[in-house]
Amino acid sequence: MTTSTAPASLAEAGFVTLTGPYASTDEAFAAAATAVHAAFDEPAQAQLEVIGDFTIPPRDGPPGRDFQTLHLDFGLPVDPVGPGPVARCTALFAPFGGPGGAAATRLVPLAPLLAQRSWPEPAELLRRLIAYGETHGGRDEARGYVEGSFARLVEAADGALPRLPSIRTNPEFLCGEEFGDLDSELTFLAALGLSVEAVERLVRLAPGEVLLFDNLTLAHGRAGRRRPGELRQRVFGYRDLGVAGQKQIRDRVLGLFAGGPD
């Protein structure tokens, strides 16, 4: 793992640290919005808007875990059946005067990670993911199957008998609690042929800085525990994207599974 603070650009590297320093949340997220709109040239670009605004961890919430599993914010619409939100980019801001902390955001670029092994061709890949949603995923009548857990996406794509608990048969199972610690997640993914450590970047924000990352080309998580109120998070994306638009995005993400060895 390496620590990085200044990659080339959001569009090329998939993430960027805006060093500011920004004195306020408004100032920080205005800079983030400008960077987001400059980075992406997509047909649906005009619809990009703020779809989530959070304080993380919540100020009055329970103490968080000392890591967070790799995921995609708002999830990947694997088998969408109705309109819904899709997150394009996430911004994290460390305000001055906040509680501070030593936790790092884990950023895992999907293309080089997934290229470490081979995958089935696109139609079979999609078939496996949809089948996984029917037996193990959090399928919903209104949305269809949306999967946020990177480990579940990989497990589904691999196609072997799933080892993670089924959300279908254990509705009380909390998404994001697939692993008890960070090492368990890394071991699980290594068994599926993926060395996260080979490509993972860790980013720690100084007060006044913003981290902005592409939610569709990187999986992200956390190493370390955050203090309540440590960060502000703003998510840019599509608030109510139709099924066709969601499938377009899904296919682009699943295209990242195509770069491996034959």
Using the contact rule CB under 5 A, the part of the chain among 10-18, 22-30, 66-74, 185-193 near Fe ion is 66-74
Tell me the closest approach of the beta carbon of residue 71 to Fe ion, in angstroms: 6
Tell me the closest approach of the beta carbon of residue 204 to Fe ion, in angstroms: 16
Tell me the closest approach of the beta carbon of residue 123 to Fe ion, in angstroms: 30
Tell me the closest approach of the beta carbon of residue 55 to Fe ion, in angstroms: 13
Question: Nearer Cβ to Fe ion, position 125 or 212?
Answer: 212
Question: Nearer Cβ to Fe ion, position 73 or 185?
Answer: 73
Tell me the closest approach of the beta carbon of residue 159 to Fe ion, in angstroms: 26
147 near Fe ion, judged by CB under 5 A: no
73 near Fe ion, judged by CB under 5 A: yes
Question: Nearer Cβ to Fe ion, position 110 or 115?
Answer: 110
Using the contact rule CB under 5 A, the part of the chain among 69-77, 92-100, 131-139, 142-150 near Fe ion is 69-77
Question: Nearer Cβ to Fe ion, position 90 or 119?
Answer: 90
Question: Nearer Cβ to Fe ion, position 73 or 155?
Answer: 73
Beta-carbon count within 10 A of 249 CB:
20
Question: Nearer Cβ to Fe ion, position 113 or 126?
Answer: 113
Question: Nearer Cβ to Fe ion, position 115 or 212?
Answer: 212
Cis bond before residue 171 (omega within 30° of 0): no
Using the contact rule CB under 5 A, the part of the chain among 65-73, 74-82, 96-104, 174-182 near Fe ion is 65-73
Using the contact rule CB under 5 A, the part of the chain among 18-26, 47-55, 70-78, 173-181 near Fe ion is 70-78
Burial string for 186-225 (b: 16+ CB within 10 Å, else e) reads bebbeeeebebeebbbbbbbeebbbbbbbbbbbbbbbbbb
214 near Fe ion, judged by CB under 5 A: no
56, 173, 183, 73 alpha-carbon torsion, rounded to 10°: -40
Tell me the closest approach of the beta carbon of residue 73 to Fe ion, in angstroms: 4
When CB distances to Fe ion are compared, the closest residue is 73
Can you give the binding site for Fe ion, defined by CB under 5 A? 73
